[in-house]
Amino acid sequence: MIEFGQQILAAQPFSTFLGTELIRFEQGLAELRLTLKPEHMQQHGFAHGGVVAYMADNALTYAGGSVLGGNVLTLEIKVNYTRPAIGEALIARASVVSSGRTQAVCRCDVFAVANDGREKLCAAAQGTIVPIPAQKSGK
Amino acid sequence: MIEFGQQILAAQPFSTFLGTELIRFEQGLAELRLTLKPEHMQQHGFAHGGVVAYMADNALTYAGGSVLGGNVLTLEIKVNYTRPAIGEALIARASVVSSGRTQAVCRCDVFAVANDGREKLCAAAQGTIVPIPAQKSGK
Amino acid sequence: MIEFGQQILAAQPFSTFLGTELIRFEQGLAELRLTLKPEHMQQHGFAHGGVVAYMADNALTYAGGSVLGGNVLTLEIKVNYTRPAIGEALIARASVVSSGRTQAVCRCDVFAVANDGREKLCAAAQGTIVPIPAQKSGK
Amino acid sequence: MIEFGQQILAAQPFSTFLGTELIRFEQGLAELRLTLKPEHMQQHGFAHGGVVAYMADNALTYAGGSVLGGNVLTLEIKVNYTRPAIGEALIARASVVSSGRTQAVCRCDVFAVANDGREKLCAAAQGTIVPIPAQKSGK
């Protein structure tokens, strides 16, 4: 399953542009990792909020897709930033809170990982993933 | 004021990495533009949701900063995706809904701009911007 | 159209329990009013945040329903509280930002109305309204 | 600590109007219970979304207050409705995800409790709780 997920990630030019890796992908769970580079920063030397939001958005979509199957998209996402994202990598861990035929509600925690491997929560996210209707995804 | 804003944007490595421009910045208003390139896409050929969320996040921060003054940060953001982001550029327009001493609540609409200049809403966002306490921002 | 909306409101025991009125209901727009009474308050003498959230939730659902038609439900809602809800009434004004076959994204402003009729924004909300699938709404 | 919390709840006219009980209140955790009555319903016989949002809002505030101390208020809240709230009671369980001097980010799950005690998740919420500045809360 993780190989399938990695193929999808490799097909996302934006994810390869940033350098994102899918490190866990199971039924109801997904985990993405991004080694932080200078180009991911904002003016204070932290990872840009947009990078953090991207990590949450993408991890939520993977988690939702793992239970909904087929093509999915993120309908909406909410991100609370809890701490400056300082470290050598970001890890986004998403899990499914509730899922049915029409939606999966997922949560994601984004951690900044220090040199010594210690993780600090830098964002908490929640969002809705939905299946793409067949007539749209069929193309 | 717009020159000041553009200096801040130029100091954000992530924004220069993507190619974002600040095209409007006034009291209570901010507008960012991003010419879409292949590296901004996801696997279906649309701009990645993370790019759209980044645009909303950044425009909200500018709008909030315009009324709060000094250093600010985005406390939280919520994004509803309304349509695939297909076009030659994204424009994010943010405005302040309410502001006080301790927070500014802002909204942002993100549009996909077609070749002929027509704009279609692809995301609606809302978020909270807060001043960075002096002891933190002084460094 | 407003009479139809008022019939639905009258069929909501919680809305009649609180005393909510539908004062505007058009294609893409809805406006609810609640005369504040002592039982709507929290411990500081303001309308409880739950009352404000209820007003936003209900107005968003009406606005979304006005364009989606048929039975609808609120999938998710986000509320930013901007000011204590002090006054003699609350007015929630919701409008549709974007709508399609599968969802309507709506925004709502909730105002506290003073004795002299002046309105102050006390909350800004945004949410997703979806049609109820026929097999569920048919009962 | 729970007695202190129950005194605050008893001082909220809206909570006594609905019949809410505080059944758990510890450092970083809060749990509210509401026995569902006919006046809490919407037109389909489920608890109104506004009741569910109220439960989430109030439980989040308690959880945040347990770590921030003193007077607090809910800055913003996001609620995903996952299932119709059908049952004999609602239980809202909130916990703190991250807290500092200026904010606590909390999550809350709202469950519908059936006659036999089984719980089903009907909403997932996330929000920001902040201390009330001394000059405001001193009155």
Nearest to A18, CA basis, from A7, A10, A27: A10
pLDDT tens figures, D77-116: 999 999 999 999 999 999 999 999 999 999 999 999 999 9
**Contact yes or no for B103 and D133 at CB 8 A:** no
Please give the pLDDT value at position C120. Answer: 98
Q: What is the pLDDT of residues D66-88, one digit of tens each?
A: 999 879 999 999 999 999 999 99
- Are B78 and B126 contacting, i.e. CB atoms less than 8 angstroms apart? yes
CB contact under 8 A, B124 and C98: yes
Among candidates A119, A58, A117, which has minimal Cα distance to A83?
Answer: A119
Q: Mind giving me the DSSP string for A23-61?
A: EEEETTEEEEEEE--GGGB-TTSSBPHHHHHHHHHHHHH
Q: For D114, which DSSP code?
A: -
Q: What are phi and psi of C81, to 5 degrees?
A: -85, 125
Question: How large a percentage of chain A has pLDDT more than 70?
Answer: 96
Residue B139 is predicted with a pLDDT of 30
| Smallest CA–CA distance from D82 into chain C, residue | C75
- Is residue B138 scored above 50 in pLDDT? no
Q: Which of A8, A53, A74 sits opposite B57 (nearest CB)?
A: A53
Query: Interface partners of A (3+ CB pairs, < 8 Å)?
Result: B, C, D
Q: Give residue A56's pLDDT.
A: 98
For chain C, what is the HEC assignment? CHHHHHHHHHCCHHHHHHCEEEEEEECCEEEEEEECCHHHECCCCCECHHHHHHHHHHHHHHHHHHHHCCCEEEEEEEEEECCCCCCCEEEEEEEEEEECCCCEEEEEEEEEECCCCCEEEEEEEEEEEEECCHHHHCC
Taking 90 as the threshold, does the pLDDT of residue B135 lie above it? no
Q: Do C58 and D38 touch (CB under 8 A)?
A: no
Nearest C-alpha in A relative to B128: A80
Per-residue pLDDT, averaged over B100-118, amounts to 96
CB contacts, 8 Å: C32 with chain D: none
Q: Are D35 and D19 in contact (CB under 8 A)?
A: yes
The structure tokens listed for D24 are 């758990």
Contacts of D78 in chain A (CB under 8 A): 78, 126
- The predicted structure's pLDDT at residue D134: 62
pLDDT at B137 > cutoff 80 = no
Which chains are adjacent to chain C, needing at least 3 Cβ pairs under 8 Å?
Answer: A, B, D
CATH number of the domain bearing residue A110 = 3.10.129.10
Q: How confident is the model at residue B133 (pLDDT cuts 50, 70, 90)?
A: confident
Query: What pLDDT does residue A135 have?
Result: 53
SS3 B43: coil
Chain C closest-CA separation from residue D13 CA (Å): 5
Q: Which residues of C touch B83 (CB under 8 A)?
A: 98, 100
pLDDT for the residue C137: 39
C130 vs A contacts (CB less than 8 Å): 102
> D42–C14: do the CB atoms touch at under 8 Å?
yes
What mean pLDDT value characterizes chain D?
94
Q: Bigger pLDDT: A43 or D16?
A: D16
- Please say if the pLDDT value at position C138 is more than 60: no
Other C-beta atoms lying within 10 Å of the C-beta of residue A80? 28
CA angle D71, D73, D75 (to 5 degrees): 150
Instruction: Report the residue from D48, D57, D78 with minimal CB separation from C14.
Output: D48
Q: Tens digits of per-residue pLDDT, A30-43?
A: 999 999 999 999 98
Phi then psi for residue C116, to 5 deg, are: -85, 10
Cβ–Cβ gap D98/A124 under 8 Å: yes
- Cα separation, D65 vs D73, in Å, equals 8
Number of separate domains in chain A: 1
- Residues of A with Cβ-Cβ distance to C60 under 8 angstroms: none
pTM for the full model?
0.95
Interface test with D, best of C48, C55, C130 (most D CBs within 10 A): C48
Predicted confidence band of residue A70 (pLDDT cuts 50, 70, 90):
confident
Task: Output the CA–CA distances (angstroms, integers) from residue A36 to A16, A19, B14, in the order listed.
Answer: 13, 9, 11
Q: What chain B residue is nearest to D129 in terms of C-alpha separation?
A: B75
How would residue B70 be classed by pLDDT, with cut points 50, 70 and 90? confident
pLDDT category of residue D133 using cuts at 50, 70 and 90: confident
Average pLDDT over residues A125-138: 77
Higher pLDDT, C136 or A61: A61
Helix (H, G, I), strand (E, B) or coil at B5: helix
Closest approach of A17 to chain D, Cα-based (Å): 31
Q: Which position has the higher pLDDT, A69 or B21?
A: B21
Angle at A42 between CA A40 and CA A47, to 5 degrees: 50
Q: Which residues of A touch B12 (CB under 8 A)?
A: 41-43, 48
Closest C-alpha among D49, D99, D92 to residue D72 = D99
Mutate to test the interface with D, among C7, C9, C40, C54 (most CBs of D within 10 A): C54
Which of D12, D51, D80 is closest, CB to CB, to C42? Answer: D12
Q: Is the pLDDT of residue D123 over 50?
A: yes
Contact D88, D113 (CB under 8 A): yes
The stretch C22-50 carries a mean pLDDT of 97
User: What spatial distance separates the first Cα and last Cα of chain A, rounded to whole Å?
Assistant: 23
Q: From start to end of D27-114, where are the E strands? A: 29-35, 72-81, 89-99, 104-113
Question: Is the confidence at residue A14, as pLDDT, over 60?
Answer: yes
Using an 8 Å Cβ cutoff, are A62 and A22 in contact? yes
Q: How many CB pairs under 8 A join A and D?
A: 45
User: Mean of the pLDDT values across residues C67-92?
Assistant: 96
Q: What is the pLDDT of residues D35-45, one digit of tens each?
A: 999 999 998 99
Burial of D21 (0-12, 13-18, 19+ CB in 10 A): middle
**Given pLDDT bands bounded at 50, 70 and 90, which one contains residue A136?**
very low
* B2 CB-near residues (< 8 Å, 6+ apart): B22, B24, B25, B26
Structural domain for C112, as ranges: 2-137
Is the pLDDT assigned to residue B79 strictly greater than 60? yes
Residue D135 pLDDT level (bands cut at 50, 70, 90): low
Across the interface, whether the CB atoms of B75 and D133 are under 8 A apart is answered no
Whether residues D128 and B102 touch (CB distance < 8 A) is answered with no
